[in-house]
Amino acid sequence: MTSLELISFINVVLFVGLFAVVLRDALRSPTRAKLNTALFFGSLAGVLVLSRLAQWTGFSADPAYPGLIIALLAVAPFAMVRLVDDFSHSPGWAQVAGAVGFVLLAGFALVAFGAMEPVVELAVVAFFLVVGGYAAVAFARAAARARGITRRRMTAVAVGAGLFIVAISIAFVGAFLGSTAAEVSSIVVQVLGLAVAFAFFLGFTPPAWIRRAWREPDLRRFLEQSIHLAGVTDERRAIAQLNAAAASTFGARGATVGVADRDRSVLRYVAQATGDWVEYPDDRFIAARAFQEQRRVVVANAAREDPENAEFYERVGAMAVIAAPISTENRRIGVLTVFAERMSVFAEDDLWLVDLLADQAAVLLESRELAQHASSLRAREEAARLKEEFLSAAAHDLRTPLTVVLGQAELLERRRQRNPAAPADAQGLARIAREARRLSDLVTELLDAQRLEQGTAVMDRAPADLLDVVEDVRERYEEGGLTVSVDRPALSLVASIDRPRIEQVLDNLVENALKYTPGGSPPQIRVASHEREARIEVVDHGIGIPEADHGRIFERFFRASNAQSITDTGLGLGLYICRRIVDEHGGRIWFEPTPGGGTTFALTLPLLAVAAGHVADEPPQWEDDPEPMTARELPADA
């Protein structure tokens, strides 16, 4: 046996074997796609078997033999056009044209091959190039649109179809050119036949181990993504990504996850176009049947099975639908639906994958709910902790001035009872007034923190020169005998601000600088401008802020760990209020260590104008962002 004969024999065995496999599958569960696949492989196997029998019996010399071979071979392109419609969408005219071309070519070959052999051979080549070429291109385009294992199978079919057309064309061109060319073309055709058989084998009837190998990367990616999605805070985004991952893993047109509402009989889906929640009754669509019956539902023609929603299925391209319930032992969580234009995309022995994806989705959604519940518990615990800290700090700080006021008032009352004519105790009255003001400041801090947190604080903003604001703060401290130096530019820095609130911020920062610089140098206020922003710094050379406290210094009720060494009073609200006020003005506030020790608090505010004597009515429109400032800025939620 020569090498050519061996290859020819292998081709016969392969195509006959493939035909036997697909025919058995079609007879077990007949569908249009399976019958067309059997028709395709049957035509190729029939040509090869008939050729062998003709050689053994001498039938190859009969005048009817070539026409019969051509007619049988022409079935293959016709079947390929039908398979295009089974695996993706094919226009009706293509189906009709393929059928008409097949009938005309088969009839012409049977009747006129002997008398018009060259013409018939040219017609065969033209038929294969046009009809078969259309099918090959259609399969290639379907492969480009598909995903996952479907793309791999479609690619294999497209390659096989292209090689098949090339092989047939070479065979007929070789026969048309003469005996020498026919011998060469026969070798090429036999080799291409092996490649065609292998490609069609991978595309139409891949064994289970190959499908598992193809699916493994997609399945692993799905599992990795699903684990990651457990930490996605936005449930809609997590569901949308789960939809995309499931569709990609199965190689289908799309997939949707419907989440059941515990309190109402609805299933919630994430709209692909908008990303918003959409709700449907849990007895609508094919997916609802799987949810209600808690079993997998497979539908080959969704529009026919559920005519009430036929328009919806046609709009989303859901001809074939597979739905599987997402549930645990104790709860119905929702339903997973995978859909495609044609049922042939779903191999029957791969339906277990939908159940696997549904089970994984159940684990994901259940874990997300548990995580949200745990987060809610942690939030309540944190709220309780903050409440306890607040009550402890408030009770301590409010009790101190109240004790002084009450004690001093009782002392004055007893003196008055003993000697009504005695002169007033000036020092006692001053102490009462001082502690009453301190008590008022504490209550104001609490109210400010509450209003800023709830967003009810009213900012009465108007254009003002920030240099005047800083100067007023400095003068107020100097009247009290405290020195605050100011480094300021010559030009005005006009911003739209709530002046009392910005003064409150500066007062708080300066008071902290004075409080936490025991016996040290006085604080300094530095003012500068950077393009469209004003920058104000309050610099001290005090005890500084421990590095471990940097991330929490602007939190409510938080005080630096070394603050207790200076004073045990304070609610820990001052810096929190400063940050909220600056945020309301569209600015930023942060801190950085002062060279040589201490802390520099810096804040920026957007300017209306930077010119002496000029105030703009509206902020200017800028084309680019300002240059970043070389400071370590804390995150907004610090």
Answer whether residue 635 shows pLDDT above 60. no
What are phi and psi for residue 330, nearest 5 degrees? Answer: -115, 0
Query: Which pLDDT band, with edges at 50, 70 and 90, does 566 fall under?
Result: low
Q: Between residues 210 and 399, which one has the greater pLDDT? A: 210
Structure confidence by residue, pLDDT tens digits, 297-333? 988 888 888 999 888 888 888 888 999 999 987 788 9
Average pLDDT over residues 411-439: 74
**200-251: per-residue pLDDT in tens?**
888 877 887 888 788 778 777 777 777 777 666 678 888 888 888 888 877 7
Given this model, what pLDDT does residue 344 score? 58
3-206 domain in CATH 3.40.190?
no
Position 348 confidence tier, pLDDT thresholds 50, 70, 90: low
Distances (CA, A) of 287 to 309, 333, 580: 12, 13, 49
Nearest to 461 by CA among 557, 377, 571, 581: 581
Angle at 625 between CA 620 and CA 627, to 5 degrees: 120
Whole-angstrom distance, CA of residue 248 vs CA of residue 313: 20
Task: Give the Cα-Cα-Cα angle 306, 309, 314 (nearest 5 degrees).
Answer: 100
Mean pLDDT of the chain: 79
Question: Which pair of structure tokens corresponds to residue 354?
Answer: 């939908």
Nearest to 634 by CA among 593, 603, 589, 594: 589
In the chain, % helix, strand, coil (3-state, to 5) comes to 60, 10, 25
Provide CATH 3.30.565.10 ranges for the chain: 462-606
- The arithmetic mean of pLDDT across residues 602-611, rounded, is 80
Mean pLDDT, range 28-32, rounded to an integer: 81
Domain ranges in the chain with CATH number 1.20.1070: 3-206
Q: What is the pLDDT of residue 582?
A: 92
**Four-way CATH pick for 462-606: 3.40.50.2000, 3.50.50.60, 3.30.565.10, 3.20.20.140:** 3.30.565.10
88 and 138 Cβ atoms separated by less than 8 Å:
yes
What percent of the chain has a predicted confidence (pLDDT) above 90? 10
3-state secondary structure 47-77: HHHHHHHHHHHCHHHCCHHHHHHHHHHCHHH
Structure confidence at residue 387 (pLDDT):
65
**CATH 1.10.287.130 residue spans of the chain:** 384-454
CATH number of 384-454: 1.10.287.130
pLDDT higher than 50, residue 627: no
The alpha carbon of 215 is separated from its chain's Cα centroid by a whole number of angstroms, namely 22
Give the right CATH number for 234-374 from 3.20.20.70, 3.40.50.720, 3.40.50.2020, 3.30.450.40. 3.30.450.40
Average pLDDT over residues 351-369: 81
0.85 exceeded by the pTM?
no
pLDDT at 343: 67
Residues of each domain in the chain carrying CATH 3.30.450.40: 234-374
Q: Which of 63, 64, 75 is nearest to 35 (CA)?
A: 75
pLDDT in tens, 520-549: 678 999 999 887 899 999 999 888 888 888
Q: Mean per-residue pLDDT for 545-559?
A: 81
Long-range contacts of 263-269 (CB under 8 A, 24+ apart): 267/291, 267/334, 267/335, 269/239
